[in-house]
């Protein structure tokens, strides 16, 4: 049964920070009864250096890189879900600029969830560059899950108070 509620969109790049964000979002989605959309956004850089690197290492080919990203994403989703049957989760791999894609997807989201640092080259002292760009461009509330915060599953039937909405 597909949910009609706006999803929680989570940026996933394979880092510990994005795994923490996904676990947090899954817990929050269970409490809200909303689906989760886990997105890995990747950019193909194989063509930038010409054909020589591809001849020396065929695993750099875009279709191999895409397949590796897909395997990493589905493994992370499976690991974070564990044996839970909810919430509804959709995993998607998108080629493009991470901040642009996530900000675009935020238009139809209840919330955009990200880790505090990912695998980007230009990580800021507190936030990763993608998270910082998303905070400025997103069209929904953005939650950045910092180190030390883990999803704390609540017992069934427990009432929780949304820290933002009350």
- Give the model's pLDDT for residue 93: 95
**Can you read off the two tokens belonging to residue 38?**
């886990």
**Whether the predicted model's global pTM rises above the 0.85 cut:** no
- Give the model's pLDDT for residue 125: 47
At 96-128, the pLDDT tens digits run 999 999 999 999 999 999 998 755 444 444 456
Rounded to 10 deg, the angle between the 16-32 and 62-81 helix axes is 50
* pLDDT of residue 49 exceeding 70: no
Confidence of residue 79 (pLDDT cuts 50, 70, 90): very high
**Structural domains in the chain?**
8-145 (3.40.50.620)
For the chain, the residue count is 166
- Give the model's pLDDT for residue 149: 78
* Residue 23 three-state SS: helix
Dmax over Cα atoms in the chain, in whole Å?
59
């Amino acid at each position: 049964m597909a949910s009609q509620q706006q999803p929680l969109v989570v940026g996933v790049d394979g880092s510990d920070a994005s795994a923490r964000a996904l676990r947090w979002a899954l817990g929050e989605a269970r409490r809200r009864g909303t689906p989760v959309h886990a997105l890995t956004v990747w950019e193909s850089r194989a063509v930038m250096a010409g054909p020589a690197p591809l001849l020396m290492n065929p695993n750099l080919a875009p279709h191999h890189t895409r397949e590796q990203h897909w395997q990493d994403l589905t493994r992370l989703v499976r690991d974070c879900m564990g044996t839970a049957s909810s919430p509804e989760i959709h995993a998607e791999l998108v080629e493009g600029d991470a901040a642009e894609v996530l900000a675009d997807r935020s238009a139809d989201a209840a919330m955009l969830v990200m880790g505090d640092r990912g695998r980007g080259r230009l990580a800021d002292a507190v936030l990763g560059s993608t998270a910082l760009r998303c905070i400025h461009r997103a069209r929904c509330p953005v939650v950045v899950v910092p180190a030390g915060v883990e999803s704390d599953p609540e017992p069934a039937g427990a009432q929780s108070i949304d820290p933002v909405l009350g």
